[in-house]
Structure 1
Amino acid sequence: MTLLAACSLPRSGPNKNEIYSGAVERGGNAHVIYVNDHVNRTANFAPSYGFSSTFQGAGQVGADTIRAGDTLGIGIWENVDDGLLAGLGQSATQLQQIQVDSDGFIFVPYAGRIQAAGATPESLRQAITTRLSSQTPDPQVTVVRAAGDGATVSVVGRVGAQGVYPIERPTRTLSSMLARAGGVVIEPEIAVVTVKRGNESGKVWLTDLYTGSQNDIALRPGDIILVEEDQRSFTALGALGGQTKVPLGNEMISAIEAIAMVGGLSTNLADPTGVFILRDEPDSVASAVLGQPVYGTQRMAYVLDLTRPNGLFLARDFLIRDEDTVYVTEAPYVQWQKTISAITGSANSAASIANTAGLN
């Protein structure tokens, strides 16, 4: 009974042989691969964030272009004492808070309904002047874009002031709009900025936004800007200094660094020949690693043997990706120690019981 109990002793997870038994070669559904230079060359890629050419190629919105929803201020001076619009004894008429309707038009008395959307204040001024010239001599017209609320973007997430902001001359690019919204309120190293435009979206690290001008894209009306903390992480399990979920941040983390981030290998438990990186690999990468075509996502168990002459170098060069599991098996002698402890502990317990019974 003692030996049977020893077979089910507590442990942190499967041992190496149990993982190997799940290999494709043994009828399982996982590819167990020892990491070497070839594996590092073919499996190591870091999915990067960035905007597509569609985002990067879009030119800046004209700051003076009038759009539906904008508010205009129009001033009209007439060169007669009793004009069409001005009161008796006055020559100037101010038409304030004229909003461009949803079809892009405005109405000006005696000039009628005029297309404003798509025009600049100057071209609209000329159109109004032409319309009025047939009714009052030499009218002088001014047009001011009082509020550009017709071209707005929404800024949400981890910024100083979420809200809907107009695209104006100082805020026509992503970085300037983020500054207008109070800046980012989380650590720049873990901040990701996503821009949704229609059916497309793109994202970029905040630090890459300020280091690469190609990422500081021009904004478009209706854009949604989301700032959030990066959610990429890996999970550490087994004979390690800690078992936890660890955020990746925006750095490229190697297997050695991942182990160090959770306290390193457990000196009393870990088997340095049994460091596993478990992941679901896309078929393109899996085919390159295996050297033969495979189809569909493949379960891969990459094995790092840190006791090999170049084991630490291979682990240093192996990159950890989002949703990886870093698992370290226990050394074989650990289970043996537990078995011996269970046997001797059971014997000691039996002797203690017998002694206690004898005393009674």
Structure 2
Amino acid sequence: MRLWIFSGLVLAGCAGSQGYMAEENAGLGPGVPAVAVQPIDPPWLQAEQQRRAARGRQDVSALLVDQPAPYQIGQGDILTIVVWDHPELGAGAPAAQAQSAPPSAAGAGVPSAGFVVDHDGLVQFPYAGTLRLAGLTEEQARALLAERLARYLSQPVLTLRVQAYRSQRIYIDGEVKEPGLQAINDLPMTLVEALNRAGGALPSADQSRLLLERGAQRYPLNLPLLMQQGVNPARILLRHGDVLHVPSRDESKVFISGEVVAPRALTMHNGRLTLNEAMGEAGGLTPQGDGRQVFVVRRVGGEPRVFQLDARAPGALAMAEAFELEPRDVVYVAATRLANWHRNISQIFPGALSSAVGAAR
């Protein structure tokens, strides 16, 4: 009977069996679960790849927009309204300024100081009275104001545009150059535009694990996978109140330990790292490592799962390359029986084994 313990997990199995089945763990105290070990073989890998492909299909249909709608005026926006040939209607434009302006400027009217859309979405304008402009585009607001002014002015010509965009914002944080609030303006706030305004993603960003929060909904976004599936990230439109989080690659590390040359924590490459790549980055097995006992410990739904690869089996390299690790996986390579026996003897009788070898020589 052999036992392996990984962070409180106990694996028990009998020599010669193809998998190590879980057994009752009576002697190690309560709360230490025993788990079954899933062998990594071609049939299981094929089924796992199909499951991963099904999980990898991202449903971003609710986020995709082919033709973004024009910007709609909102509460807090500041508008610039100029009525041609009527500079006296400009907000805060003194008469002296209008008289001293060049003819071209006087003909178009002196630019106003701005009209603020109040919390009710209303704007007050001379002769036109109180207008509800919130929810209208610039073109619609211009037409409504011209209709009101036509009661007092003959064929009024005016210019209306948003001077300051303050009603709609998104928030972007994480591994970007300039995290913080980004105002939505007349340019559509797509996912690509949001990242660009934040200065772009840093080299430490994990672009495979972006998270978009919209109210109570959370949308995980894998940019490399979206592009592989033919989905243009520029079609993903962000809305007012959205929060975009760009995580660090350090949050999705894989840990490799045991009988490997260089035990370490490995960062995934845009969310992808195979077991073969992990073993290669760790320098491979030490002479004391047992290639038949390469384990991967993973938590699935709060429960531990353990997978075993026999690296000495035919086609083991192909299976290791096909086995994709997930964030926070633990790869562990067990020692051979001889190495374990040597270590146990050395702990019980320090120096005894070396003395015996010296005496034999």
| Band the TM-score falls in, shorter-chain normalisation | 0.7 to 0.9
Partner in structure 1 of residue 70 of structure 2: 62
2:17 alignment counterpart: none
Aligned to 1:96: 113
Equivalence for 2:343 = 338
Partners of 1:82 and 1:162 lie apart in 2 by 43
Are the structure 2 counterparts of residues 312 and 54 from structure 1 closer, same or farther at C-alpha, using a change threshold of 3 Å?
A: same
Shift of 1:83: 9.2
2:81 matched to 1:74?
A: yes
Note the alpha carbon deviations across 1:263-317, whole angstroms, 9 max, x for none: 21112x11111111222345xxxxxxxxxxxxxx653322211222333333332
**CA shift at 1:259, angstroms?**
1.5
Give the Cα separation in 2 of the matches to 1:233 and 1:139: 65
**Contact residue 68 and residue 188 of structure 2 kept, 8 A:** no
CA distance in 1, matches of 2:318, 2:196: 43
**1:22-79 superposed Cα distances (whole Å, 9 cap, x missing partner):** 965523531123222122123345454856221125852414x322221111122468
The answer to whether structure 1 residue 214 and structure 2 residue 222 are counterparts is: no
Map of 1:174 onto structure 2: 191
After superposition, residues 225-236 of structure 1 pair within 5 angstroms as 225-230=244-249, 231-236=251-256
The amino acid across from 2:262 in the alignment is G
- In the alignment, the residues of structure 2 paired with residue 189 and residue 347 of structure 1 have an alpha-carbon distance, to the nearest angstrom, of 49
Between the two proteins, the alignment pairs up a number of residues equal to 319
Q: Distance in 2 between matches of 1:256 and 1:237?
A: 14
Spell out the pairing of 1:87-126 with structure 2 (5 A cutoff). Answer: 92=109, 95-126=112-143
**Residue number in structure 1 paired with 2:150:** 133
Output the CA distance in 2 between the equivalents of 1:253 and 1:247.
8
Query: In the alignment, what sits opposite 1:326?
Result: 331
Q: CA RMSD in A?
A: 3.7
Do the aligned residues in 2 keep the contact of 1:188 with 1:207 (CA within 8 Å)?
Answer: no
- Equivalent residues in 2 for 1:1-360, closer than 5 Å: 19-21=11-13, 25-27=22-24, 29-44=34-49, 45-46=51-52, 48=56, 50=58, 52-57=60-65, 60-63=68-71, 65-77=72-84, 92=109, 95-187=112-204, 192-207=209-224, 212-216=230-234, 217-230=236-249, 231-267=251-287, 269-281=288-300, 298-339=303-344, 341=346, 343=349, 345-346=351-352
Shift, 1:171, TM fit: 4.7
Q: Which runs of 5+ in 1 are unaligned?
A: 1-11, 283-296, 350-360
Cα distance change of structure 1 residues 227 and 49 upon mapping to structure 2, 3 Å threshold: farther
Paired with 2:354 and 2:21, the residues of 1 have a C-alpha distance of: 45
| Residues 62/329 of structure 1: CA separation in 2 closer, same or farther (3 Å cut) | same
Q: Percent identity?
A: 24
Measured after TM superposition, the shift of residue 206 of structure 1 is 4.8
Greater length-normalized contact order (CA 8 Å, ≥ 6 residues apart)? 1
TM-score (norm. length: structure 2): 0.74
